[in-house]
Chains A and B, each alone.
Chain A
Amino acid sequence: MLRFSLAKLAGQLILWLLKLQNKGGTALPGLVALKVDPQFVQKSSSKLNTILITGTNGKTTTSRLIASILAEAKLKVIHNRAGSNLLRGVASTLLSQDKADGAKSDNERAGETVAIFECDEAAFPEIAQQTQPKTVLIMNLFRDQMDRYGEIDTTLKKWVVALENLPKDTKVILNVDDPSLGYIAYQIPKIINFGLDDPSLDIKKLPHTADAAFSPESGEGLTYSTIFLSHLGIYHDPKTKFARPHLDVSVDKIKETSIDGSQFELRSVSQKIELKTYLPGIFNLYNVTAAATVALELGIDPDLIKRAVLEFKSAFGRFEVINVDGKKLVLTLIKNPVGFDQVIDLIKKEKGESTLIIGINDNLADGTDVSWLWDADVEELASHQGTVITTGLRAHEMALRLKYANFPASRLQTINDLNALFEHVAKSHDKKYYFMLTYTAMLEVRGLLAQRDLVKPFFEDWS
């Protein structure tokens, strides 16, 4: 008890000091608290109704969607919304929240408080073990930041072990359009499966990045009757009985899906809901479906879900639109081949001229191995009519990637310095600029825009 109190005190002190300096405080306070008491997260979260979200892509958007829906339903929410998703990030969130609550007793508040934590794929087992969540949502598993995770197969195995060790009544919600998650569904009891079911979305061919297209059972190539995105689709193993499990929640009628958003029908065992979102593309269709499924499992009124989804705006850097001096800047985050491919796909469908700005850093948070750029289908950009500017610590690597994708050198530029880049944007005639940035490059760009008061700093994004 004493150790826990000391940990809380130490963490809150660091948090206070950081806030004084106008810094984020989304990781360090938690790290300090955990050093003092390694069971800090376990003790702080023991009385909370916790939802954990993990996967390669879509965690932040989906977590924010769930938070919005619960806020619409007037529930009190604790959430690591800035995206600090290691154990220390969860600890920091618990510290901030506790401070805000003041002197209310644990029992009184905890009953109506829902904790939403997005979890890094490698940190998920540890966070699950400490928070003992009531609900777990797994979005997908793609190759990503290979230098951190080593291998996709290893991550999958660790997830299965983590899920097996959860309380028996924990609800596990899986996107079984992903064969890796379909495989988990057969191994864990009490799974709620969701996926897409509309054949009109079929992209017909597995892209290069479809890395889980082999049966976890037999190792043979899976046969797909429909492919929605990368290796997500309706699949079966030609040699065994392994196939996409039956869907508890499905999207079978998609009226429209584009860069302007989607309109579709979500069907669960007991009801049908019409959902409309302004979030672009199919990957967001998955995000909205995931969030709605979690909300339905929590018993939230469908009308509240509809409203929250309709009003939801993207998280920072996820197709974030900034208008400045008659120019439209669109900021998108890229982290791995699948995400990059999706962004390229959406941008290609846009009409009118635009300049593309691709910023690649290789700091720890971006992933230090840039090999992933060669797995992305950058060849799809060869038909882009406007200029492409590369920037960041690995700007030349990206320019080289484009050179080998046969993008014409006459329309390819490299501007390393961000201030020089923004000066160039200010002087140039194009009206639209699509920024595709890795994580720390996004922070730098947004930092510059925040200085000019065009966006809020990322940790203040409490909207």
Chain B
Amino acid sequence: MSFSLTICHLYPDRMNIYGDRGNIFALKRRLEWRDIEPVIEEVKTGDKLFENKADFYFFGGGQDQAQQFIAKHLKTKADVIQADIENGVVALTVCGGYQLFGRYYQDPTGQKSEGLGIFNCVTEAGQKRKVGNLLIETTPLAGSILDKSASDTPYPLLDKSTSKGPRQYSLKLIGFENHSGNTFLNAGSEPFGKVSQGFGNNGQDQTEGIRYKNAFGTYLHGSLLPKNPLFADYLLEKALQNKYAGFELKPLKNDLELATFIEAQASL
């Protein structure tokens, strides 16, 4: 049987600042190296989006003006994306993309751009730009690829399994943030992780990013996935399991990725 995964890249032409396409490279290659065919669908303004077509959504960051422009166009795709996320489709949203998946983004002049409301959070432009290397520990994640990696590779993987539940792990993730927006999670929302070093969502409450079902929002550029391959694999396995019940991802050798992670830590 041949396997494939359709990755829907939202607005790649405008929301593409800070090297976020590195995440697409990471997803693409890590699928190819396992003989799974990646299908990258680029969705720009004016393109139609169909429900149940995407196995994975990726949405990167952009400048303020681009974000305001996109916010208007995003409304035409809101129904499809919201329905897909409710159905458990995997999504990775970074910076501007993360903000637009929230309830609204308010720019320095006070103008509000409505978001998709998938994430229960709001973002307001702050005075200071939050720039620098960012290290976080995610809230616990579970997946067979993580179980396999825990025994194979020494990695920034922290076992958070309890005696009762399934095996689960916190991942240390490293990247670079650059945003003036302060994101505040509303009551009941689950953060993506806890800040070990850096600002995170707002520099105040030590939270970073958000998660809802299989959708994740984060401020980690870098790009995020290349030097945090276990998180890339976690996302890919979830997406593949949605499509092919019981699918288990084969582990890959991550020596260079780990060396890169350690190298990045030296810059913290």
Residues of A within 8 A of B (CB): 143, 146-147, 150-153, 208, 211, 213-214, 219, 221, 362, 368-375, 393-397, 399-401, 403-406
Q: B203 within 8 Å of A by Cβ?
A: no
Chain A neighbourhood of B25, CB < 8 A: 374, 404-405
Docked-complex contact B17 and A153, CB < 8 angstroms: no
Known: A369-B178, A373-B19, A374-B25. Contact between A151 and B63, CB under 8 A?
yes
Q: B103 within 8 Å of A by Cβ?
A: no
Q: B263 within 8 Å of A by Cβ?
A: yes
Closest CB in chain B relative to A453 CB, distance in Å: 33
Chain B neighbourhood of A372, CB < 8 A: 19
Count how many pairs of residues, one from A and one from B, have CB atoms less than 8 Å apart in the complex. Answer: 96
Closest CB in chain A relative to B256 CB, distance in Å: 6
Known: A146-B17, A373-B19. Contact between A368 and B132, CB under 8 A?
yes
Known: A219-B69, A369-B178. Contact between A397 and B129, CB under 8 A?
no
Q: B13 within 8 Å of A by Cβ?
A: yes
Docked-complex contact B176 and A371, CB < 8 angstroms: yes
Chain B neighbourhood of A374, CB < 8 A: 19-22, 25, 223, 226
A150–B17 Cα distance when bound, in Å, is: 11
Q: B266 within 8 Å of A by Cβ?
A: yes
Q: Can you spell out 21 A-B residue pairs with CB atoms less than 8 angstroms apart? A: A147-B131, A151-B17, A151-B64, A153-B64, A153-B65, A211-B17, A213-B13, A219-B69, A368-B176, A370-B222, A371-B22, A371-B223, A373-B19, A393-B263, A396-B263, A397-B260, A397-B263, A399-B256, A401-B226, A404-B29, A405-B25
Known: A150-B180, A368-B133, A374-B226. Contact between A400 and B257, CB under 8 A?
yes
1/0 contact trace for B60-73 toward A, CB 8 Å? 00011110010000
1/0 contact trace for B16-33 toward A, CB 8 Å? 111111100110010000
Q: Which residue of A lies closest to B26 (CB)?
A: A404
Closest CB in chain A relative to B119 CB, distance in Å: 23
Most A C-beta atoms less than 10 A away, residue of B22, B29, B256, B264: B256
Q: B221 within 8 Å of A by Cβ?
A: yes
Chain B interface residue count: which class?
Answer: 35 or more
Docked-complex contact B260 and A400, CB < 8 angstroms: yes
Q: Which residue of B lies closest to A221 (CB)?
A: B13
The 9 lowest CB-CB distance pairs between A and B, nearest first, are A374-B22, A371-B19, A374-B19, A396-B260, A396-B263, A404-B25, A369-B176, A396-B259, A151-B63
A401–B222 Cα distance when bound, in Å, is: 11
Residues of B within 8 A of A (CB): 13-14, 16-22, 25-26, 29, 63-66, 69, 129, 131-133, 176, 178, 180, 221-223, 226-227, 256-257, 259-260, 262-264, 266-267
Closest CB in chain A relative to B23 CB, distance in Å: 8
Docked-complex contact A396 and B256, CB < 8 angstroms: yes
Q: Which residue of A lies closest to B176 (CB)?
A: A369
A147–B18 Cα distance when bound, in Å, is: 9
Q: Which residue of A lies closest to B257 (CB)?
A: A400
Docked-complex contact A397 and B178, CB < 8 angstroms: no
Docked-complex contact A371 and B221, CB < 8 angstroms: yes
Chain A neighbourhood of B226, CB < 8 A: 374, 400-401, 404
Chain A neighbourhood of B21, CB < 8 A: 208, 374-375
Chain B neighbourhood of A143, CB < 8 A: 17
Chain B neighbourhood of A214, CB < 8 A: 14, 66
A221–B69 Cα distance when bound, in Å, is: 12
Chain B neighbourhood of A397, CB < 8 A: 227, 260, 263-264
A272–B157 Cα distance when bound, in Å, is: 66
Q: Which residue of A lies closest to B70 (CB)?
A: A219
Given contacts A396-B256, A404-B29, 15 further A-B contacts (CB under 8 A): A146-B17, A150-B129, A150-B178, A150-B180, A151-B63, A213-B13, A221-B13, A368-B132, A371-B176, A374-B25, A375-B21, A393-B266, A397-B263, A401-B226, A405-B25
